[in-house]
């Protein structure tokens, strides 16, 4: 009886935290795949990873990419202005 109680508590915990819902959605997505992937486990890992919290390193890299894009755009604009100056003279 104690084991059943612990199982029920754990099930409620999984339900409250959204784990059961997420697992169900991923399994349904796998079921609905027209062509089943070679590795069901890789499919699950990929789809669960997509909904996992962001890795801080990934977020830092995204920020760096955004900054680099801004710098690139600024340099393109500066290049355009310098080309115009050269053409004027």
Radius of gyration of the chain (CA): 25
With 60 as the cut, is the pLDDT of residue 61 above it?
A: yes
Judgement on whether residues 41 and 62 belong to the same structural domain of the protein = no
Looking at the fold, whether 7 and 40 belong to one and the same domain comes out as: yes
pLDDT digits (tens, 9 = 90+) for 7-59: 999 999 999 999 999 999 999 999 999 999 999 988 988 888 765 556 788 88
Q: What is the pTM of this model?
A: 0.50
Same domain, 27 and 58: no
User: What CA–CA distance (Å, rounded) separates 26 from 42?
Assistant: 12
Range of the domain at 83: 54-88
Task: Provide the pLDDT for residue 12.
Answer: 93
Triad 26, 28, 31: Cα angle to 5° = 115
Residue 47 and residue 58 share a domain: no
Taking residues 70-89, report their average pLDDT. 90
Q: Is 39 found in the same domain as 8?
A: yes
Is residue 68's pLDDT more than 90?
A: yes
Contact 52, 26 (CB under 8 A): no
Residue 89 has pLDDT above 70, yes or no: no
Split into its structural domains, the chain has a count of: 2
């Amino acid at each position: 009886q104690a084991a059943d109680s612990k199982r029920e508590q754990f099930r409620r915990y999984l339900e409250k935290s959204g784990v059961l819902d997420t697992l169900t959605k991923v399994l349904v997505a796998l079921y609905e795949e027209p062509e089943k992937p070679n590795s069901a486990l890789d499919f699950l890992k990929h789809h669960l990873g997509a909904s996992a919290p962001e890795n801080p390193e990934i977020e830092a890299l995204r920020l760096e990419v955004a900054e680099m894009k801004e710098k690139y755009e600024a340099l393109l604009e500066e290049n355009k202005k310098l080309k115009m100056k050269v053409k004027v003279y």
